Structures are given as structure tokens and as C-alpha cells.
């Protein structure tokens, strides 16, 4: 659970950061696809018991986005363990505003798809999908498909 949650969060953050940095747009007026990475720098875990993955375990992660190898923003998320899956939600901060995201991840997969649920400032009408591929416990590849 810990590796899956961390990687998923990292990817979501990278995608969100890449969108703002790569396009520098002041609004979401046309579809945008951004490819990037998320690197997790801090993680806090709370094992609610019994020991090991079980319902209500919690993980909170923060880190930064990379686009073309350069830092493009920061992000954080929190995930809660359920029976065989986790529910996650978070926000990424970019130069043009924030983008929020949430989704479900399955413990036996290194690929995840989350929804873009909104944003602020330049992204106040954002919606779309974040596709995440876990690469390591602290790094994920992400593709952000932002729709107006």
C-alpha cells in the first residue's frame, strides 16, 4: 500500500505541475495534454492497526513536479486504505493557480487514473484526467489531460 500510494501521489503532482509550467496559460480555454513526473520528498504514514495494510490506514505525501527535467510546481495528497484499494485526494500549486484531483488506486497495480476536480485562478474551470504510472516508491510518470 505505501509504495502504491506514494507513487500515485507523486505522479498526480507532477502532471498538475507540468500543465501550469509548460503552458503558462492564464485560463483553460482549450484541451491541454502535459507529460511530466512527480517526485515525493516527504511522507507520513499512520498504521491504524492491525499491523500492515488495513482499512483506515493513512498516507500523506508532498513533493514537486518536473516538466522537461525542471521543477514546475509542488503538490500534496492524502490516501486512505480500504479493502484492496485506496482513495486519494490532493492539490497541486502551479504558477497560474492550483489544480485539485482525486481518485481510486488498486493495491496490485502500478497504473492509476484520477479525476481533475477543479482548480483556482487560471484553472478555475479545469476538469479532466490524471494518468499515473508508478516508477519507484518516490517517483511517478504522469500525463495530465486538462479540459476546459
Query: Over 60: is that where the pLDDT of 12 sits?
Result: no
Can you tell me the distance from the alpha carbon of 63 to that of 84, in angstroms, rounded to the nearest whole number?
25
The three-point CA angle 12-65-20 to 5° equals 90
DSSP state at residue 122:
G
What is the set of domains in the chain, with CATH numbers?
Answer: 2-147 (2.40.480.10)
Query: Over 50: is that where the pLDDT of 20 sits?
Result: no
Can you tell me the distance from the alpha carbon of 39 to that of 51, in angstroms, rounded to the nearest whole number?
27
Query: Over 90: is that where the pLDDT of 11 sits?
Result: no
Q: How far does Cα 146 stand from its chain's mean position?
A: 13
Q: How confident is the model at residue 124 (pLDDT cuts 50, 70, 90)?
A: confident
pTM over 0.85: no
Nearest to 3 by CA among 90, 66, 81: 81
Amino acid at each position: 500500500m505505501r509504495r502504491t500510494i506514494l507513487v500515485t501521489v507523486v505522479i498526480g503532482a507532477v502532471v498538475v505541475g507540468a500543465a501550469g509550467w509548460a503552458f503558462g496559460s492564464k485560463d483553460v480555454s482549450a484541451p491541454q495534454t502535459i507529460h511530466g513526473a512527480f517526485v515525493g520528498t516527504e511522507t507520513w504514514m499512520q498504521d491504524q492497526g492491525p499491523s500492515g495494510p488495513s482499512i483506515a490506514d493513512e498516507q500523506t505525501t508532498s513533493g514537486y513536479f518536473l516538466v522537461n527535467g525542471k521543477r514546475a510546481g509542488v503538490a500534496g495528497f492524502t490516501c486512505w486504505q480500504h479493502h484492496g484499494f485506496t482513495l486519494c485526494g490532493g492539490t497541486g500549486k502551479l504558477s497560474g493557480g492550483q489544480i485539485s484531483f482525486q481518485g481510486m488506486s488498486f493495491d496490485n497495480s502500478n497504473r492509476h487514473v484520477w479525476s481533475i476536480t477543479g482548480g483556482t485562478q487560471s484553472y478555475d474551470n479545469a476538469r479532466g484526467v490524471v494518468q499515473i504510472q508508478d516508477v519507484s516508491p518516490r517517483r511517478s510518470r504522469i500525463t495530465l489531460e486538462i479540459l476546459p
